[in-house]
Amino acid sequence: MHENCTFDYAVIRLVPRVEREEFFNVGIILSCPAQKFLETRIYLDEQKLKAFAPKADAEKVKNYLEIIPKICKGAKEAGVIGKLPPRERFYWLTAVRSTIIQASPIHTGFCSNAREMLEHLFETMVL
């Protein structure tokens, strides 16, 4: 285990109809530089998507969401963004956007285990 260290996280929001400004949470991105940790957990509730936007294409939305873990890992499929240092990838993922996938403001806290904190936040904020 690590000593308590700071971490930052943002909630990934799905805004199926941007003009309505309605959203629901689909994931968490957590960065803890002291633990060299940058990961995400994502879950798309397709029934909720259908309720928010009956004509939305769930497969297309899943494809959009699938790139986020690849960017976190620095995978080859993440392209140029995946080559950035982890902290820069975190800030790129959490930058303000006006697309259907958006991030909440960044929140900060203390934890001794970033992975456990990610799971806790995911269960609390998304599931």
| Digit-coded pLDDT (tens) for 11-56 | 999 999 999 999 999 999 999 999 999 999 999 999 999 999 999 9
Looking at per-residue pLDDT, the higher value among 32 and 1 belongs to: 32
Are the beta carbons of 119 and 33 closer than 8 angstroms? no
> What would the mean pLDDT of 75-103 be, rounded to a whole number?
96
- Distance between CA atoms of residues 101 and 56, nearest Å: 13
Amino acid at 106: I
Is residue 3 over pLDDT 90? no
pTM of the model: 0.94
Helices (H), 31-113: 46-52, 58-73, 79-82, 86-93
pLDDT in tens, 106-121: 999 999 999 999 999 9
Q: List the domain boundaries for the chain.
A: 5-125
The confidence score (pLDDT) of residue 89 equals 98
- Distance between CA atoms of residues 24 and 21, nearest Å: 10
Are the beta carbons of 33 and 88 closer than 8 angstroms? no
